[in-house]
Structure 1
Amino acid sequence: MSIDLERLRAETPGVVSRVHLNNAGAGLMPLPVLQVMTDYLRREAEIGGYEAAAEAAPRLDGVYDSVAGLIGAARDEIALTENATVAWQMAFYALPLRAGDRILTARAEYAANYVAFLQVAKRTGAVIEIIPDDANGVLDAEALERMLDERVRLIAITWVPTNGGLVNPAADVGRIARAHGIPYLLDACQAVGQMPVDVAALGCDMLSATGRKFLRGPRGTGFLYVRRELLGKLEPPMIDHFGAPWVAPDRYQLRPDARRFETWENNYAARLGLGVAVDYAQAIGIEPIAARCRTLAGLLRTGLGQIPDVTVHDLGPHPAAIVTFSVPGFGADAVKTHLAGAGINVSTSDPASTLLDAKRRALPSIVRASPHYYNTEDEIDRLTTAVRKLRDRQ
């Protein structure tokens, strides 16, 4: 299946005025996503919020099927949340950790996850241990297996970290975790939408993701997958009467599905947008999306690598579509400002977002460019040309 770039760009209003290379931050929403959300909000204004939700109930319910189909799950294993962090937190804080329990994680773990590890370690006496990397800077699955004992109660890693193109071996980790009966929580925030995701192949028990990045959905959306066999063993850290109906004066009853991790009130327009974004990606084809993302990111790394003294910081033999770099003599914010002046959107990655990895590699704040399938080769050239011009100022 080939990508109809002309049509996809015609359905992406943002490409008219900007070169958007910040898809790891928030992808540009396509017109169908924008349309379903604005239509729904207009309907809320016309007939009322509750009434609009009732009218759209079949479409809202279908979002579970869309998300489940995207990642190879069953609909009862999906909870919809307001962001990926909430999804991840709901899973993590539901785990009954105690003093001496070991949490194994990756060196490039995301800050939001790691501070939660620290909080639970402080509260319970659980301990956090870092899985070593191999010579390429990728999580070493063999080293992970050697770390296992009866005190390991959780393996939790980020598949594609926020600070570069590193792709950790999520499926190898899943194979090891499943063989030893250890719960496995996978942060797939930067993976979903730019590469195939199959929870059965990954072997994860829990997976969290967002709608706003490579899925090109709206901000304020995310989802959680919990494997059915584990679901019944987890009680959410917080509940309301949607996830846990009040069935008697002295008793509540948790829902049997993953929606026990949800609350009653939510942003219905955003949920519809998420569903359309998932369907949009599926219609294009995740494999063609992944191939084009790899191609564009490879072109960008090659172009930046040809500029004297510019350093590309990505790790691993098969990096994803997140390209991080630095320009000598210019801080990351200065580079970002320069590129914005040329009509190019990028982001920066601060050391605090992946503190252990940043300290080990002595990384400063770095520039992060993240192309997606709707970007063009010319846009990649525009970024490298703008960086070259900046470098030539010295």
Structure 2
Amino acid sequence: MTTDTSLILCDLSPFRHSTRTRKIAVTAAPHLPGTVRAVTLAQVGRNGAADDPGLSRIDGIEVEQLPVGRIDQRRRLTASIRNLATVYLPALWHLRRRVLATRARTVFVGHIALFWIGLAHRRRWGSQVILNGRERPGGIRTRGSLATWFSRVEPVLLRLVARRAPVTVVAVCESHATQFRRLGLDDVLVIRNVPLAAFAPDFVPPPPGPDLVVACVGTLYPGRGIEALIDATVTARAAGAAVRLEVTGPASQEYRTALLDRIRDAGAEAYVSLPGPCPPTEVAARIQRAHVATALYEAVDPANDSLSNKLFEGVVAGRPVIAGDLAENRALIERFAVGWSIPVEPAALGALLCELAADLPGVRAMAEHCYVTGRSEFVWEAETSVLQKRLLTAAGEQPSSPVPSSHSRGLL
């Protein structure tokens, strides 16, 4: 028996900004017998992740984005407490009510901090619960972040979840999956955060030169190595290298101002640009305007060693990638020869930029290899085939009414 909704997804970030949640929704929707719905907040965090509240269709998915109060952007303890008490707790309770109002066989929880909503949905409807493990469990250590507060208690909570309720966790790499299993979560799938097949359907040759163009595309925040990349570009230019840097993405106003001040103080406005965010549909094109893409997550936070989607997007767009010298990045880049892993600090980055600028034909020659590798190895539809089969199987056994409380044990 089926119902109107086969899959409901919930997340903290607006749908367009919820990368994995959005990709799972758009991939599953054509194959499931019922509707696929997503419920998210309309705004979250200090990094500019915001969209219009209300009901809409995005990428063919029924999306409801819930309004939130004004977020205090200051990185202070009092601001975090105020945001939690007056902004997020009311919004999350609203999110819970909207998710529980929808009967569906599967609930996909896009941020693992919302596990309690998934378990509540299971108690009410008997649904299968899938938790998106976007980072290493317990790995976030960003100062002043509410995510860090949750991350500190995450291992304890997940051990409790593992004892009380059957759930599936989707991890982004095998080392993370191992840590989830050590917490008692036995059903863990590894799904790397690779792009959809439609992300970059055609090969675009890199620009002819004469400058080496470097692209940094994605949400901008401390820990992504942007300051080091700006400083490295300045260093390379001072050494005579023809290098330009384009930094594209949303950011908090405070952080964007700090980056612009850094560029101005270095006198780098002529060759370092910060044009602002672009729609997701333009990400590949922004990368393809450059010779080299970047995924420079710093080692300051264990959660950063997570095989970022920015690494995969660069390769699939047909560009070699400069990535932070983290274990997961290093292993993938060495295996597929799709770029360079390097310490995220100005001297090392500056030296590499000088080398690449001096061998622009060699850098350009890597583009087609990266594109072919990306199309054969890093395609979302193939990466998620096991998960898609589970969603389709579950959709054929939908309950027609809430499950009595005696039939389910959960945390909520």
Give the TM-score band, short-chain normalised. Answer: 0.3 to 0.5
Q: What's the TM-score once normalised by structure 1's chain length?
A: 0.32
TM-score by length of 2: 0.31
Structure with higher RCO (Cα < 8 A, 6+ apart): 1
